[in-house]
Structure formats: C-alpha cells, structure tokens
C-alpha cells in the first residue's frame, strides 16, 4: 500500500500580488530604458506599497524573498538616481549614461525576479 504525498500549493493570493507588483515594476523599468517613454512614478509607488503591505504575509515562504527583492530594487535604484542626479546639472551626457545604466540594472533585477517567481523559486540576495 502506498501513501499519496499531499503537497500544499503556495498561497495563490500572495503569488497574485507578487505578479501584480512585478508587472507594475516591469512597466516602469521598460519605460525607463526606452527613450521618450514616460510612465507615472505612481505605478512604482503603488507596487512598492503592495510589497510593503504584503511582505509580512509572505514571511516564512519562498515568496518572501521576492517581496524583499522588489523593495530593495526600488530603494537602491532611488538612492542611485539621487546620487547621480547632480550629473544632469553639470554634465548632461554622464547623467544620461548613469541613469541609463541604473535603469538597465533595475530592469535586469525585475526580469530575474519574474523568471524565478515563474519557476516557483526564491530570489537570492
């Protein structure tokens, strides 16, 4: 006689909120690297608020790393944008290059997180 192993599915509600947040981040990240594409910072703030509110619900699950990953991505990008903002005032070309590199880095982190979440895997720090 064999026993069936019952697997518990991850909380689909958390997964849904994670995907909503990733998609909002993705829209902002893609717009940041496309010349002339403008989206509202409100999308990023909405995603950040979702992550901050739902982060506690994900504690102890593989999805917790994704909430932290997105929060850290936004905070680091914000700090980097602020630190390099003076370049726009003094040297326009280096400012454009710096912000372009930060935007590409942000896009990379969002896509990496989405790929890992789709595979049901956590994101390493």
pLDDT in tens, 50-72: 999 999 999 999 999 999 999 99
Give the span between the Cα atoms of 71 and 51, in whole angstroms: 7
Half-sphere exposure (Cβ direction) of 112: Cα atoms closer than 13 Å: 14
Is pLDDT at 8 greater than 50 in this prediction?
no
**Predicted pLDDT at 55:** 94
Asked if 58 and 17 touch (Cβ cutoff 8 Å), the reply is no
Average pLDDT of the chain is 88
**Predicted pLDDT at 77:** 94
What is the tens place of the pLDDT at every residue in 88-104? Answer: 888 778 888 998 999 99
Q: Exposed, middle or buried by CB within 10 Å (0-12, 13-18, 19+), for 78?
A: middle
For range 18-33, the mean pLDDT: 92
For range 18-24, the mean pLDDT: 96
Largest CA distance in the chain: 76
Domain locations along the chain: 12-118
Is pLDDT at 6 greater than 50 in this prediction?
no
């Amino acid at each position: 006689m064999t026993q069936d192993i019952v697997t518990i599915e991850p909380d689909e509600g958390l997964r849904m909120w994670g995907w909503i947040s990733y998609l909002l981040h993705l829209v902002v990240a893609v717009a940041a690297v496309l010349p002339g594409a403008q989206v509202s910072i409100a999308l990023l703030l909405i995603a950040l608020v979702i992550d901050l509110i739902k982060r506690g619900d994900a504690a102890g699950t593989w999805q917790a790393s994704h909430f932290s990953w997105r929060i850290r991505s936004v905070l680091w990008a914000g700090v980097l944008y602020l630190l390099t903002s003076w370049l726009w005032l003094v040297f326009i070309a280096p400012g454009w290059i710096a912000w372009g590199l930060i935007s590409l880095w942000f896009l990379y982190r969002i896509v990496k997180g989405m790929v890992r979440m789709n595979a049901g895997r956590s994101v390493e720090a």
